[in-house]
Structure 1
Amino acid sequence: MRQSAPRFPDGAASRAVLIGCSDFDDIDLPAIPAVKSNLADLRSALTQDTHGILPPEHCRVLADPADHRSVGMALAQAAREADDLLLVYYTGHGLLDEDGLLHLALSSTDPGHVGFTGVPAELVKRHLGRARARLRVLVLDCCFSGRAVAAMTESGSLLSAQLDMSGTYTLTSTTATAPSHAPPGQRHTAFTAALLDALNQAEPLTLDGIHQHIDSRLREAGLPQPQQRSVNAAGNLALVRGPVQSHGEPPTGHEGEIRFRQQPPEPSVDRRRDTVVYVVLLSVLVAVGVLFAGWFATLIAAGGIALFAGLVLLLLLLRRGVHYDLVVDSHGLGTEHGTHSAHIPWKDIERVGVLRRAPGTVLISNVLIVRLKAGAPRPTGFHRRLNQRLPDQRYVILGMLSTYGADPMRLRSTIEHFAGGIYRTDRQLLEMDPRLR
């Protein structure tokens, strides 16, 4: 990816405000658990000791702000203090009012009265437009965020005068009419995962380069395209000085190895559900027994059912301790399930990628597939049913990404880190071999 020479901001004269809402009072606004990780990992990237651009005290995080006051005060303070760069990032729900204007949801936002309870995007940009910082960047990861770009070009916009000046850049997760995406069970939203991946490249990307990188990642995933608008020289700004690593916990693993693991459900929820099921079954048994068999036979049957249920529950508890792991390391790709494991070394892999649909199927999606080199031995131990419809024996499906809770974009980066340029997109795999359709 060719780009102009990056310009690095002066950290001492720069400020960042990261705003995110993951939990909401209104039941019509579902929680977005990934927001917490978005905020934590983006702050870690921007303030990383070696390659970050900001001292930690110059990067303020507002997690789940309940009112406009805290947001306004944070933006106003940052606008006063920043002389070089002012960066504002929001992740959460984007809502439209009756006039189609974008508002950023807070914890207390009422979807029925967005204009009074949400933060207007134009108000945020007004703070940016009035700031004295030479470079001002707005990044929005929310539904309909592209309207923040459109508003800057509309005639008569309240912001056209303030923001159409040198050194402003707007980057949004989607278009003016499309929703943003937060894949269930993933650590980050789709846009911020791609943003963090862009910040972790070997060479620092400019804002224009970051936009191109995110666009490529989201396009491959079949998601709405990010939008951007740059005024004059803001596009050559870099947000890091080199590759940064996420400080988050999952995927788990140790040095030289990355493990993708699906997190088990909360045990408290499972226990409550199991208890209700068993109580209902025993109650039905007792009621039927009393009606047709009498008390004595009923007690014997109930005891037998209770013993059987206890054994089933014990087996379920034992199974919960077994994890499905996808392991990527310097030696190759592997899977682990309890005591069972399978592995393919890099030296035997010609190419690897993620197919959106397993060959010959409709419901089995996002499978990790490997093309073996000619003469390489076929490995054993992988899912038999998934490998039944492959066009020839040089293909091996390791499993579905959902089994391992693997984010496609981070998986690709991990494979490229350990094995170089052998990764292929879904489109490239199908172009190379149409039999995979």
Structure 2
Amino acid sequence: MTGIDFARSRAILVGTGTYTHGLPAMPQAVNSLHAMRDLLVGPRCGWPEDRVKPFENEVEGGGVQRQTAALIHDVKDVLLFYYVGHGQLLDGEDLGMALVDTEHDPRMRSSTSWRFNDLREELTYRCSARVKVVLLDCCFSGLATRYTQGVGLADEIQVATRIEGAYTLTASRASQEARHEQDEHGLTYLAQCLGSYTQGQTY
């Protein structure tokens, strides 16, 4: 990966595979979090380890949103944000990124999930990064680009960038579930695809 001033860039990786309030365990999410980190700091991408910050199995109210916001504010060149775990449909057609203690009960999802719109506001109004890349590896992740779906990929990226100030790649459409390998040692399909792409393989 070239053309990045790593001293002024940061990758933020958030993965949730353990749940305590009714959502099914998803070890593939944590596996994918580790795989993404290894991919970024490996020889193919070349990110310095101290510029890649993983958050694994965080709880709501545990400070991950505050810590992430502080990291976002510090970026001037390239910001990469990756979330992997359960995605949930919230009121107002917002995407909820599930944390360890996010409720399975639909009535409690909005108050216990990390709302994507909160992250969107940080990126739109309080982030000075030259390039913003958002990778959403969860069900219903297409909600993040719901106003651009149905056009070609190049057009979708262009429109999403103009509206949100970020390049956004999602693992599913707004009404779809994302997929992962059934083996508990496996990966999500998006993580698998990204790893294969960077290795120059066909997936």
**Interval containing the TM-score (normalised by the shorter chain):** 0.7 to 0.9
- When Rg is computed on C-alpha atoms for both structures, the one with the higher figure is 1
Matched with 2:199 is: 200
* 1:252-331 to 2 correspondences below 5 Å: none
Distance 1:57 1:37, change over 3 A: same
Aligned: 1:41 with 2:55 = no
Distance 1:167 1:199, change over 3 A: farther
128, 138, 144: which one pairs with 1:142?
A: 138
User: Taking structure 1 as the reference length, what is the TM-score of the superposition?
Assistant: 0.41
Aligned: 1:171 with 2:169 = yes
* SS state at 2:7 partner: helix
CA positional deviation for 1:171: 0.3
Distance across 2 between alignment mates of 1:151 and 1:64? 30
* SS state at 1:61 partner: strand
Aligned: 1:13 with 2:8 = yes
Matched with 1:131 is: 127
Matched with 2:67 is: 74
Distance across 2 between alignment mates of 1:94 and 1:165? 22
* SS state at 1:89 partner: strand
Q: Is the 8 A contact 2:31 2:187 kept in 1?
A: yes
Matched with 2:157 is: none
Q: Is the 8 A contact 1:85 1:135 kept in 2?
A: yes
* SS state at 1:31 partner: coil
Q: Is the 8 A contact 2:141 2:172 kept in 1?
A: yes
Distance 1:152 1:164, change over 3 A: farther
CA positional deviation for 1:94: 0.4
Distance 1:177 1:200, change over 3 A: same
Could you tell me which runs of 5 or more consecutive residues in structure 2 were left unpaired when the two chains were aligned.
150-160
* SS state at 1:111 partner: coil
Q: Deviations 1:196-239 (Å, cap 9, x if unpaired)?
A: 1112228xxxxxxxxxx7xxx4xxxxxxxxxxxxxxxxxxxxxx
Aligned: 1:31 with 2:25 = yes
Distance across 1 between alignment mates of 2:80 and 2:104? 27
Could you tell me which runs of 5 or more consecutive residues in structure 1 were left unpaired when the two chains were aligned.
1-5, 154-162, 203-212, 218-437
Q: Is the 8 A contact 1:145 1:176 kept in 2?
A: yes
Matched with 1:110 is: 103
CA positional deviation for 1:73: 2.1
Q: Is the 8 A contact 1:16 1:78 kept in 2?
A: no
Distance 1:165 1:144, change over 3 A: closer
User: Taking structure 2 as the reference length, what is the TM-score of the superposition?
Assistant: 0.84
After the TM superposition, which segments of 4 or more aligned residues of structure 1 sit over 4 Å from their partners? none
Q: Is the 8 A contact 1:138 1:169 kept in 2?
A: yes
Which amino acid counterpart does residue 187 of structure 2 have in structure 1?
A: H
Q: Is the 8 A contact 1:10 1:53 kept in 2?
A: no
Distance across 1 between alignment mates of 2:164 and 2:146? 18
CA positional deviation for 1:15: 0.4
Distance 1:139 1:93, change over 3 A: same
Identity in percent: 28
Q: Is the 8 A contact 2:97 2:114 kept in 1?
A: yes
CA positional deviation for 1:79: 1.4
42, 48, 52: which one pairs with 2:45?
A: 52
Q: Deviations 1:312-363 (Å, cap 9, x if unpaired)?
A: xxxxxxxxxxxxxxxxxxxxxxxxxxxxxxxxxxxxxxxxxxxxxxxxxxxx
Kindly report the root-mean-square deviation, in angstroms, between the aligned alpha carbons of the 2 structures.
Answer: 2.3
* 1:84-99 to 2 correspondences below 5 Å: 84-99=77-92
Q: Between Structure 1 and Structure 2, how many residues are aligned?
A: 189
Matched with 2:158 is: none
Distance across 2 between alignment mates of 1:167 and 1:118? 23
Q: Deviations 1:356-377 (Å, cap 9, x if unpaired)?
A: xxxxxxxxxxxxxxxxxxxxxx
CA positional deviation for 1:69: 4.6
Q: Deviations 1:143-164 (Å, cap 9, x if unpaired)?
A: 00001011579xxxxxxxxx73
Which amino acid counterpart does residue 175 of structure 2 have in structure 1?
A: T
Q: Is the 8 A contact 2:89 2:96 kept in 1?
A: yes
Which amino acid counterpart does residue 115 of structure 1 have in structure 2?
A: S
